[in-house]
Amino acid sequence: MHPLKLANTSRVFNRRRSKRCILDRRTSAVVRANDRRYECLIEDISLGGARLRFDGIPPADRELVLEHAGTGELCCERVWRIDGAIGVRFEKADRQLDRELQCVAIMVSPDDDRPTWF
């Protein structure tokens, strides 16, 4: 089975302009908000943003940095928060190809050291 699926937007609440890819394999990351760090799982991603799941209360800050081993840092803005999940919008990339490569790196690099809470 291929690890990526494009979500059918008729079944998923979606304001994104780009198609989202739902990750079948668990992919963890860290979100930095000011001086605090929050472990999270990336549930889905598009060229414009991602949905992140947290064990507990997610960061309330608006300006965040998503850190992923395959991509480094992605500056983003929290656009919604529901229970233990947030939606983030990535800052515009200088080059579209750079953003596409960052998203592909996240999609193809699941981790084996996933948080135990998921």
Helix boundaries (H) for 1-118: 96-107
pLDDT one-digit tens code per residue, 8-46? 443 444 555 667 888 877 899 999 999 999 999 999 999
Taking the whole predicted model, whether its pTM rises above 0.75 is answered as: yes
pLDDT (mean) for 61-90: 95
pLDDT of residue 111 exceeding 60, the answer is yes
Distance CA 62, CA 64 (A): 6
pLDDT of 46-63, one tens digit each? 999 999 999 999 999 999
Neighbouring-strand partners of residue 40: 29, 54
Per-position b or e across 43-77, b if 16+ CB within 10 A of its CB: bbbbbbbbbbbbeeebbeeeebbbebebbeebebe
pLDDT of 5 over the 80 cut: no
